[in-house]
């Protein structure tokens, strides 16, 4: 449960942050010292980094003086396509995810009935073409109307566009993101847009500009007095 890997450009599924998303915290419980094994595959964790070798037949992908790296063969893709889903209540979603009593590679848990409704027979591929903190772009190909699922934290301020048309973003498997996509090839863009944050940045920028103006006027008057 350490996010020091970020200094090296490595994302940590169990990384601690003082500002916690309520959905994520209720499922992950970041105060724990380890990540619940039931969540490892769900979060598309590709590698485990440990201090020492573990007992068993696992073969390290890398071993050095600073630690040992093991590959996770059960990791789900970072982005994938499905037409199958189950509706669950918000209160029961966490328990279903931890129980793992559904095929995570073929089905997804939703708390809101999807509109448009995906085709349960849909299959396809998803490839992330651009990934930044506040913006993700994905190229999707689907045989029928389906859901694009991203193993990234859901927040209501994420906005999506599919082929330049606004699309909804739903919570999937409690904490991930799902976006409806049509049949064929699509370009999906997700961007984080937080109105309060934008307002705060605007106010800060205006305040900073005002301070610079006042500072300039003060220095000018000071120079005139000296003259």
86 and 110 part of one domain: yes
53 and 85 part of one domain: no
Distance CA 91, CA 74 (A): 27
pLDDT digits (tens, 9 = 90+) for 190-206: 999 875 555 455 456 55
Number of structural domains in the chain: 3
Distance CA 161, CA 167 (A): 5
Task: Over range 92-102, report the average pLDDT.
Answer: 88
pLDDT digits (tens, 9 = 90+) for 34-74: 777 778 888 888 888 888 888 888 889 999 988 899 998 88
16 and 104 part of one domain: no
Question: Which of 51, 71, 91 delimits the end of a domain?
Answer: 71
Question: Which of 28, 52, 71 delimits the end of a domain?
Answer: 71
- Tell me what percent of the residues of the chain surpass a pLDDT of 90: 47
Q: Which has the minimum average pLDDT: 32-36, 56-60, 92-96, 223-227? A: 223-227
pLDDT digits (tens, 9 = 90+) for 148-173: 999 999 999 999 999 999 999 999 99
Q: Which residue has the higher pLDDT, 6 or 128?
A: 128
67 and 162 part of one domain: no
93 and 184 part of one domain: yes
User: What is each CA distance from 195 to 124, 135, 159, 170, 205, in whole angstroms?
Assistant: 34, 16, 12, 19, 15
109 and 170 part of one domain: yes
214 and 150 part of one domain: no
pLDDT over threshold 90, residue 83 = yes
Residue 197: per-residue pLDDT = 53
Task: Over range 111-138, report the average pLDDT.
Answer: 95
Q: Are the beta carbons of 195 and 203 closer than 8 angstroms?
A: no
161 and 84 part of one domain: yes
Distance CA 59, CA 80 (A): 28
Host domain of residue 208: 197-227
- Tell me what percent of the residues of the chain surpass a pLDDT of 70: 82
117 and 164 part of one domain: yes
| Token pair in block for residue 84 | 């199958």
Question: Which of 46, 71, 96 delimits the end of a domain?
Answer: 71
106 and 169 part of one domain: yes
Q: Are the beta carbons of 149 and 82 closer than 8 angstroms?
A: yes
Give the pLDDT band of residue 223 (cuts 50, 70, 90). Answer: low
109 and 173 part of one domain: yes
118 and 165 part of one domain: yes
Across the chain, what does the average pLDDT equal? Answer: 85
């Amino acid at each position: 449960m350490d996010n020091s890997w970020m200094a090296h450009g490595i994302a940590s599924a169990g990384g601690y942050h003082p500002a916690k998303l309520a959905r994520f915290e209720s499922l992950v419980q970041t105060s724990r010292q380890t990540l619940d094994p039931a969540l490892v595959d769900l979060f598309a964790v590709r590698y485990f980094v440990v201090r020492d070798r573990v007992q068993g037949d696992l073969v390290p992908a890398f071993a050095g003086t600073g630690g040992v790296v093991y590959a996770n063969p059960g990791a789900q893709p970072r982005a994938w396509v499905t037409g199958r889903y189950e509706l669950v209540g918000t209160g029961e979603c966490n328990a279903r995810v931890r129980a793992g009593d559904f095929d995570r590679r073929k089905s997804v848990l939703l708390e809101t009935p999807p509109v448009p409704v995906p085709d349960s027979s849909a299959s396809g591929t998803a490839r992330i073409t651009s990934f930044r903190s506040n913006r993700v772009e994905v190229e999707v190909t689907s045989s029928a109307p389906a859901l694009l699922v991203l193993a990234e934290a859901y927040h209501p301020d994420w906005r999506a566009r599919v082929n330049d048309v606004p699309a909804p973003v739903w919570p999937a498997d409690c904490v991930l993101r799902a976006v409806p996509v049509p049949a064929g090839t699509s370009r999906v863009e997700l961007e984080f847009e937080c109105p309060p944050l934008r307002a705060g940045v605007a106010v800060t920028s205006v305040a900073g500009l005002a301070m610079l103006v006042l500072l300039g006027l003060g220095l000018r008057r000071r120079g005139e007095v000296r003259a």
